[in-house]
Amino acid sequence: MFLRLDHVSKHFPARAGSGEVRAVDDVQIDIERGQFVTLLGPSGCGKTTTLRLIAGFEFPTFGRIILDGEVINELPPNRRDMAMVFQSYAIFPHLNVYENIAYGLKIKKLSSQEIRRKIADVMALTELTGLENRAPNQLSGGQQQRVALARALVMEPKVLLFDEPLSNLDAKLRVQMRTEIRRIQQELGITSVYVTHDQDEAMVLSDKIVVMHQGRVQQIGTALEIYRRPHNRFVADFIGRANFLPVRVLDRASSMWILELLGQVIEAPGEEDAAIRKSGQAVLMIRPESIRLSPTPPNNEKAAWSGVVTRTSYLGSFIEYDVEIADQKLLAVRYDPAESDLYPVHQAVYVQFLPENAYLLPGE
C-alpha cells in the first residue's frame, strides 16, 4: 500500500480545560499509488485534521502514517514529499504567475533551464500558457486556483493534497474546475487526497470516498457503493437524499430480505446482519428517484400503495413531490418530466418503487 493511515488518532485538549477532544478517532485508510481519495463529511467531522496529519501540520496522538513503506509520523512537512492546494489559493500577491510557480523550484536550487522547462510543461497542463507575466490581482478566481495547482504539481510530489480548493469559486466554475482537477490527476497518475463537504465533488472526482462523522470513518468505497449500499443511516442521508421507512423483517432468502412494509410483503437487498435478524426491526432506504407515481392503479405485479401529493415543485429538468402514504411522508423525484407527469397538490396517486434499488439498514 502506497499511503496508509494505520489506526491514527488525534486528541486535542478540551476548551474547558479538562479532558480531551478526539478530532480523529482510530482512522484506518489504505490508499494505492495513483488513487484519488476524497475525505467527505460535515464540518467538524475530522476530515481536515486527517489531511493535516498526512501533510505533517499535525502529529498523531496514536497510530502510524506510512508513505511508500516509510513511517513519516515525525517528519516535518518539507520532508514528506507532498504538496498542498489550499482553500485560499495562498499565492504570493507580489509575484507574477511565473514567479509563483517557480518559487518552490528555486528553493530546491534547480537550474534556470530546468525551471523553465518544468514551468512550461505544468502551465500547458493547467492551461495557463500566456499568463506568465500576470499579477495575481489580474486573474480570475479560477485562474488563481490553476496557479495554486500548477505550483503544487511542478514540485512533482509523491502525494498531492487538496484542502477544499473549490469552495471560494462560484457554482459554475466549481463544476469546471473539478473536471479539470480530475483530468490532470488522471493524466499524471498522481496519488491525491482531497477534502470536501460537497458530495457532488466527491462523487465526480474520486476513485474512493472516505465518509467521516465525529472523527470516525463511517464507510470507504466507490461513489456507487456508498450511494447504493450505505453502511448506516448517516451515510445514506449524507450522500444524496433518501427516504427511510420502518419495516418488519420476516426472513432472508439468498441475498434478499423479505420484509413487511406498510401492510405488504416485499423483497429488498441488504447485508446479512445478526442484529437485524434478532430484533426483526429495520429501516428501508429508498432514493427519491426510485419512486414511481401514477394516477391509476399500476398494471404490474409489484407492490403499490395509495397516497396523496402534498407538495409539487417543478424545476424544469426534474420535478419533486412530497407524497403521504399511510402516515408516512415520501420524497419522489421524476427527471425529464412530461406534462402528464405533473400532479397537483391533493392529487391521489399510486406509489411504487424499484425494490432492487432500495437497501435495508439497521434500525436506530
Q: What is the pLDDT of residues 120-154, one digit of tens each?
A: 999 899 888 998 899 988 988 888 888 999 999 99
Q: What is the pLDDT of residue 347?
A: 94
Q: Which residues of the chain have pLDDT under 50?
A: none
Are the C-beta atoms of 242 and 285 separated by less than 8 Å? Answer: yes
CA distance 252 to 258: 6
> Residue for cell digits 510557480?
101
Give the model's pLDDT for residue 281.
Answer: 85
Cell of 172: 459554475
What does the pLDDT read at residue 260? Answer: 92
Question: Which pLDDT score, from 0 to 100, does residue 106 have?
Answer: 87
Q: What domains appear along the chain, each with residue ranges and CATH number?
A: 3-233 (3.40.50.300), 241-362 (2.40.50.140)
Give residue 74's pLDDT: 92
pLDDT on residue 82: 95
Predicted model pTM? 0.90
Residue that the C-alpha cell 481519495 belongs to: 37
pLDDT at 35: 97
Q: Are 3 and 67 in contact (CB under 8 A)?
A: yes
b/e for 191-213, b at 16 or more Cβ within 10 A? bbbbbbbbbebbbebbbbbbbbb
Query: Which sign, positive or negative, has the C-alpha torsion 56, 37, 4, 61?
Result: positive
